[in-house]
C-alpha cells in the first residue's frame, strides 16, 4: 500500500514519545523520503543522518511555516511532531495554513498511550487534558467523577494548576508522575500532591490521576 496516496506535498509524521524504538516503520520510510524536514530541534536531532534541508521550529511557529511554504509543492516536505499528530501538535496549524488536501498524516505512538500502558489501564473512557499551552477551563469537582485523568503536563509554568487539581482529588485518586517515557531516564512514580509540588518536573511529563482501586 502506498505510504502517501496521491503524494500529498506535506507529510505530518508522529515520531513517538522519544525513543527511536517507538518510531513506526511508516514514519521512518516517510522521513527517509523527505527533502525538507520541519520540526523542533530535538526532533530534528533524532535523525542525524538525514540529508534533507532542516527547518527548525521555535516559539514563532508562523515564521517556520513561512520558511516551509517556500518548499511546499516543489519538494517532499515532512513535518515532525512528537508522539501522535492528533494530540496537541503542530498538525493543526500546518493543516490550517496549507489545507487538508495538501497534508498526509502518519500516526505515531502518543506519550498518553505509553502512560496508560505503563499503568496497565485501558483509556477509551479516560479524560485527556493538556496544560502544555494553557490551563484548561474545567471544574475540579466535575473531574472528581472521572476514573482516569491524563494530563500533558510538561509546561512547568502551569504545574501549580496540576498540583492543585491533584490535591483536590487526592482522597479519591492516586497520582502518578510519568516522566521521559520510553527514554533511558524514564520514571513512573506514585506520589502525593505535596511531592508533586516539590519536584521540578521534566518537560516530558504526563500526570495521571487514577481512581483508587483501579491500579495496584
Residues 6+ apart with CB under 8 A from 132: 88, 152, 153, 154, 155, 158
Select from 23-31, 75-83, 134-142, 190-198 the region that touches ligand SAM (CB under 6 A). 75-83
Out of 12, 80, 205, 210, the only residue in the binding site for ligand SAM (CB under 6 A) is: 205
- The dihedral sign for the CA sequence 72, 76, 79, 84: positive
**Dist. CA 119–CA 112, nearest whole Å:** 11
110 touching ligand SAM, by CB under 6 A: yes
Taking the least distance from each CB to ligand SAM, the nearer of 77 and 88 is 88
Q: Which of residues 11-70 bind ligand SAM (CB under 6 A)?
A: 17-18
Q: Please, what is the minimum distance in Å from the beta carbon of residue 96 to ligand SAM?
A: 16
91 touching ligand SAM, by CB under 6 A: no
152 touching ligand SAM, by CB under 6 A: yes
Residue nearest to ligand SAM (CB): 83
Strand order in the sheet with 148-152: 127-130, 148-152, 205-211, 173-179, 187-191
181 touching ligand SAM, by CB under 6 A: yes
Out of 102, 132, 191, 197, the only residue in the binding site for ligand SAM (CB under 6 A) is: 132
204 touching ligand SAM, by CB under 6 A: yes
Out of 154, 173, 193, 209, the only residue in the binding site for ligand SAM (CB under 6 A) is: 154
Taking the least distance from each CB to ligand SAM, the nearer of 187 and 194 is 187
Out of 71, 89, 166, 210, the only residue in the binding site for ligand SAM (CB under 6 A) is: 89
Q: Please, what is the minimum distance in Å from the beta carbon of residue 74 to ligand SAM?
A: 28
For the chain, first and last CA: distance in Å? 43
Taking the least distance from each CB to ligand SAM, the nearer of 24 and 172 is 24
Residues engaged in binding ligand SAM (CB under 6 A): 17-18, 81-84, 87-89, 110-112, 132, 152-155, 178, 180-183, 204-206
Amino acid at each position: 500500500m502506498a505510504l502517501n496516496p496521491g503524494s500529498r506535498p506535506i507529510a505530518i509524521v508522529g515520531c513517538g514519545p522519544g525513543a527511536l524504538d517507538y518510531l513506526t516503520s511508516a514514519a521512518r520510510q516517510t522521513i527517509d523520503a523527505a527533502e525538507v524536514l520541519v520540526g523542533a530541534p530535538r526532533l530534528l536531532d533524532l535523525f542525524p543522518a538525514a540529508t534533507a534541508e532542516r527547518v527548525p521550529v521555535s516559539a514563532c511557529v508562523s515564521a517556520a511555516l513561512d520558511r516551509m511554504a517556500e518548499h511546499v509543492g516543489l519538494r517532499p516536505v515532512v513535518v515532525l511532531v512528537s508522539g501522535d499528530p492528533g494530540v496537541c501538535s503542530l498538525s493543526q496549524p500546518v493543516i490550517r495554513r496549507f489545507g487538508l488536501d495538501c497534508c498526509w498524516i502518519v500516526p505515531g505512538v502518543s506519550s498518553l498511550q505509553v502512560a496508560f500502558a505503563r499503568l496497565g489501564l485501558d483509556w477509551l473512557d479516560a479524560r485527556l487534558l493538556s496544560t502544555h499551552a494553557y490551563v484548561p477551563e474545567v471544574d475540579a469537582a466535575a473531574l472528581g467523577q472521572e476514573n482516569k485523568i491524563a494530563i500533558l503536563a510538561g509546561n512547568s509554568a502551569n504545574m501549580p494548576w496540576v498540583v492543585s487539581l491533584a490535591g483536590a482529588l487526592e482522597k479519591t485518586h492516586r497520582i502518578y508522575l510519568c516522566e521521559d517515557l520510553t527514554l533511558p531516564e524514564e520514571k513512573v512514580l506514585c506520589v502525593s500532591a505535596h511531592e508533586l509540588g516539590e519536584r521540578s518536573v521534566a518537560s516530558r511529563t504526563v500526570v495521571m490521576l487514577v481512581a483508587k482501586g483501579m491500579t495496584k
